[in-house]
Amino acid sequence: RCSVKTKQLRSTMLFLRKVARRSAVAAGIASRSRIGGATTSLRLVQGRLHSTQAIDDGEAPAARLEISQASNMMNIGLRRIFTEEHDAFRETCRKFYAEHIVPHSGAGGEWEQQQHISREAWLKAGEYGLLGINCPEKYGGLGASILEAAISWEECMYADGSPSGPGFALHSDICIPYILHYGTEAQKERWIPGMCEGSTIAAIAMTEPGAGSDLQGLRTTAIKDTDGTYLLNGSKTYITNGWMSNLVIVVAKTNPEAKGSAAMSLFLVDPTLPGFSKGNPLKKAGLKAQDTCELFFEDVRLPADALLGDEGRGFKYLMEELPQERLIIAVDCQARAENAFETTRTWCNERVAFGKPLIAKQVVAHKLAEMKTALSINRAFVDQCLQLHHEGRLDTATASMAKAASTDLAWRICDDAVQLHGGMGFMWETSVARQLADTRVHRIYGGANEIMKELIARTCKTN
């Protein structure tokens, strides 16, 4: 599913043959390459070395540098949680974002003007295998782990300017898991293959005009009728992927009289149903190329099989899935901040003021030292959280720490980056200006950071 050039494909083949000699584990990752005008598909089954798997021939892997030791934090081949196989996948992701996302992104780009990316980009992401990366192969995914998914999240942020348009992570790693974990087999077969292909774009609708972090304040209702169908009424706002969506997971109250979490259920809603309407894309202070809109439901008749999971258990499902959502935000913010730092490091080494590079000024050098130190410390924690999640051990409080710490750090790093760029840093065409604007909302969505502190504080009590 990953389109690569002939040279890259051959390099990957040589590496996987080496892996095959060290591991009996086989996995199928389809790669495609255009050779002589004809599409050649190659099934790479030579062996896939899992990141937690021991090398059984006694050969010690080469030590991997951490970002604090590297000449560039975004170099391929860093960080102990990854392997050479991950590096090959990262190269594919980097190629995709450079060739198919960056040219349409940036200040004044077509996606920024229309406030959403193209459907062609979604389909191309599906062709590369970057949608549903850790979704089972039988539904069209790669069957990979959360570590491979995280590589794709990072590479979007590592691309030039940290493009804000793609809503791939929400689609693949927030929406798909709800269907995988709580859906029926019929629901999985109906929706997930198209989601992995990119022809079906998914959104999740929680937030309402009067209910953000307070999910129990929802007013949208889905009342069950005598024939087993549900009548959906209400509205949602700030919905990522909403404008282009072909599927929306809607959070609604199925029992308005019930108190607390028992009132809430989840539904798989087709936007083409009568009574479902979308507002125009919202104009935001940042993430200008990202599809965000309002959704309206007026007597939308939902079939009984639109219910996702059990009635009345929606709040429980949301709480179970939120740690991964918050981890995604943490990973994105860490990677965007690393990008902003590297852009600023280059600027300070090349920009001449008073006859010398900016970095020759102690105040500038010390600020870069502070930025690098803070990023290296937080990267260690974020990678620890990725490993915990990979092992199925990431808890709500730890994910909340990662989300709060990373979003706060990204804001400080991007702000420092703008300051060190001087007046140029305030120009929209400068990447650090867009990164500063884009990173502001991360302290709000996925649960405001004030809520994260409440969740963390609960673990500080001794009784």
Of 230, 97, 96, 237, residue with least CA distance to 159:
97
Of 355, 369, 338, residue with least CA distance to 435:
338
Which residues, at least 6 apart from 48, have a Cβ–Cβ distance to it below 8 Å? 16, 19, 23, 25, 26, 27, 29, 85
Residues 300 and 231: beta-carbon distance below 8 Å: yes
Q: Which two tokens stand for residue 103?
A: 């040219």
Residues with catalytic function: 325
Question: Tokens 């490993």 — which residue?
Answer: 387
Strands (E), 152-228: 202-205, 221-224
CB atoms within 10 A of CB 393: 10
Residue 360 is given by DSSP the state: G
CA dist 34 and 5 (Å) reads 7
Of 438, 336, 417, residue with least CA distance to 112:
438
Query: Distances in Å between the alpha carbon of 437 and those of 104, 164, 328, 431?
Result: 18, 10, 19, 10
